[in-house]
Amino acid sequence: MLEQYDLGNILVLDIETVPQYADFGQLPPAMQKLWDSKTQNQRKDETPGEFYGRAGIWAEFGKIVCISVGIFTGGANTGLRVKSFSSHDEKALLTDFANLLAGQPPNLVLCAHNGREFDFPYLCRRMLINGVKHPCQLEITGKKPWEVNHLDTMDLWKFGDYKSYTSLNLLTAIFNIPTPKDDIDGSQVGHVYWVENALDRICTYCQKDVIATAQLLRRFRGEALMPEENITIVGC
């Protein structure tokens, strides 16, 4: 499958998000009420404050602290070049990412795991909030479904089945791809950011997700995994 795609025209990406504030008490009172209303069906027995650690999931209450991207390189000896944008200044990293896409072909294919549900819309919402113009590769308004150059490895695995979510961690396990979750997972990113102040650790985790997604794409195409020496990380 996916033989119709040129790997050289695919950019694999992943984002890491955290709550906008270190704790619920720092959230402005008006936003506290809106958070209460927004999450009332998800919280179960938790108070709005107790549930606030998950605020990074919602673009209205979270922010992006890292975007990692990977571009396939080479021909028969395929490799991957990985670069990250990480910053406490969300507008700055979004602007840098938008400028990267502006220098790429308009038909560049963006690929992410659960990208259609999370990464792509989250990026668009936070860009809009921060006043950053959407790059054409992220703009879907007015386009027909087949005109949107987005690939989602989770969607590809569903094969039309809409009943379940399949994690990247599970797919890497069954395809014998090194796990990206050997240090932290998504549920710990907010703590690592706000409590440990370890943005570099989040950046490394984000890069591993990009590499794992790129390897999964290779397996979906019936191709061998890229050897570690063919993967280049150019820094956060």
In sequence order, what DSSP letters do the residues of the chain get, joined into one string? Answer: --TTS-GGGEEEEEEEEEESSSSGGGS-HHHHHHHHHHTTTT-TT--HHHHGGGGGGSTTTEEEEEEEEEEEE-SSS-EEEEEEEE-S-HHHHHHHHHHHHHTS-TTPEEEETTIIIIIHHHHHHHHHHHTPPPPTTT--TT--GGG--EEEHHHHHHTT--S----HHHHHHHTTPPPS-SS--GGGHHHHHHTS--HHHHHHHHHHHHHHHHHHHHHHTT-PPPPGGGEEE---
* pLDDT-derived band at 162, boundaries 50, 70, 90: confident
Q: Domain spans of the chain?
A: 7-20+61-233
CATH code: domain 7-20+61-233 is 3.30.420.10
Instruction: Assess whether pLDDT exceeds 80 at residue 114.
Output: yes
For residue range 168-222, list pLDDT tens digits in order: 999 999 999 988 777 777 889 999 999 999 999 999 999 999 999 999 999 999 9
Q: What is the pTM of this model?
A: 0.94
For residue range 139-153, list pLDDT tens digits in order: 988 888 888 999 999
pLDDT at 192: 95
Percent of the chain topping pLDDT 70: 99
